[in-house]
């Protein structure tokens, strides 16, 4: 049974929005595009595992995607956690093409593709940390000492997996081998350590403590909110080129019209700049000089409001209800 589905992260959504409103000539765009591509590859890798996860006995397994659990002042993240009454299984998913060489001597991962070699952090070492931290979490919450297994799944079936000479890779495999691996662990761990009641209690606690990541992309890429391109984005051609004409938004680029194009642009303002907005700030962002027009637009949205020094503050989270 899947208790936490795989979904796109808030980071991916925010990156897409920033890229839609960030100047094309800025060199940092390439960094953001690469970061989005990596995040999207990870999401697709996990998504591709659904078929193989569905082959597992649903009545015996509780499955979680992308758990992020606090540990002291930090967090640890698990791509996939499968819980049974006899053992837990942590899966680290890598969606990478080419030839992967796991260097166990120096704890590195080398990828060769198009005759170019790149080096990445070792996912096996990462799994070791995740396993240790999950065990510590279980111990801190006074749960029985249940076996915790771990495996790296390479989701691309065409990727070649190798190790340095003399080393065996017992914890790395392709997606198609997930079911046989699970059956091996079932045979190894035949005795129940947890009751079903305890298993459900742990699952509820994990879901309660899950903390989605909210990275500061402005700090990460050293960009500023003032550089975000202002204006109303056209839902026809996706350019920021709409003007207000006769109670409609008209796109100067493609001629598309829309009465409510400002709503999506205000949602983008809430996600990229600030969850609240004043009339003056709205005029500036939508590029509408008339405060009366903007007051009318905001009033029709029936947003929650507050006042600071007789100034109306509109709470844009009402747009997401």
pLDDT digits 0-9 by tens, 155-190 = 999 999 998 876 777 789 999 999 999 999 999 999
Pairing relationship of beta strands 232-233 and 240-245 according to DSSP bridges? antiparallel
d(CA 88, CA 52): 17
Q: Where in the chain is the domain with CATH 1.10.10?
A: 230-320
Nearest to 94 by CA among 163, 164, 159: 159
Report the alpha-carbon angle 45-48-52, nearest 5: 125
Structure token pair of residue 120: 């990445």
Judge contact between 266 and 242, C-beta under 8 A.
Answer: no
- Per-residue pLDDT reduced to its tens digit, 51-77: 999 999 988 899 999 999 998 888 999
- Per-residue pLDDT reduced to its tens digit, 250-300: 999 999 999 999 999 999 999 999 999 999 999 999 999 999 999 999 999
Pairing relationship of beta strands 116-121 and 160-163 according to DSSP bridges? unpaired
CATH 1.10.3300 matches 230-320 = no
pLDDT over 70, % of the chain: 99
| pTM, two decimal places | 0.87
Nearest to 157 by CA among 143, 177, 128: 177
Q: Reduce the DSSP state of residue 67 to 3 states and report it.
A: strand
């Amino acid at each position: 049974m899947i208790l936490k589905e795989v979904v796109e992260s808030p980071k991916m959504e925010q990156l897409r929005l920033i890229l839609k409103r960030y100047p094309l000539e800025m060199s940092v765009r390439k960094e953001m595009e690469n970061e989005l591509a990596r995040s999207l590859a990870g999401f697709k890798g996990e998504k591709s595992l659904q078929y193989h996860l569905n082959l597992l006995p649903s009545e015996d397994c509780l499955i979680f995607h992308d758990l992020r659990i606090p540990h002291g002042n930090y967090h640890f993240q698990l791509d996939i956690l499968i819980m049974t009454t006899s053992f837990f299984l942590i899966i680290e998913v890598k969606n990478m093409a080419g030839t992967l060489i796991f260097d166990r001597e120096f704890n590195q991962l080398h990828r060769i593709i198009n005759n170019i070699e790149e080096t990445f952090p070792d996912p096996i070492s990462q799994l070791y940390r995740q396993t240790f931290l999950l065990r510590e979490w279980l111990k801190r919450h006074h749960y029985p000492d249940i076996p915790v297994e771990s495996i790296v799944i390479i989701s691309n079936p065409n990727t070649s997996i190798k190790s340095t000479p003399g080393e065996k890779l017992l914890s790395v495999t392709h997606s198609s081998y997930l079911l046989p691996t699970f059956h091996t662990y079932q045979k190894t761990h035949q005795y129940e350590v947890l009751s079903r009641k305890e298993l459900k209690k742990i699952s509820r606690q994990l879901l309660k403590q899950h903390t989605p990541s909210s990275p500061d992309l402005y700090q990460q890429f050293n960009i500023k909110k003032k550089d975000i391109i202002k204006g109303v984005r056209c839902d026809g051609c996706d350019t920021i080129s709409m003007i207000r004409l006769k109670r409609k938004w008209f796109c100067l680029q493609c001629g598309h019209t829309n009465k409510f194009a400002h709503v999506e642009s205000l949602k983008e303002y809430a996600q990229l700049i600030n969850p609240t907005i004043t009339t003056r700030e709205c005029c500036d962002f939508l590029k509408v000089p008339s405060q009366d027009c903007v007051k009318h637009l905001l009033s029709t949205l029936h947003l929650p409001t507050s006042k600071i020094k007789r100034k109306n503050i509109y709470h844009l989270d009402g747009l997401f209800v």
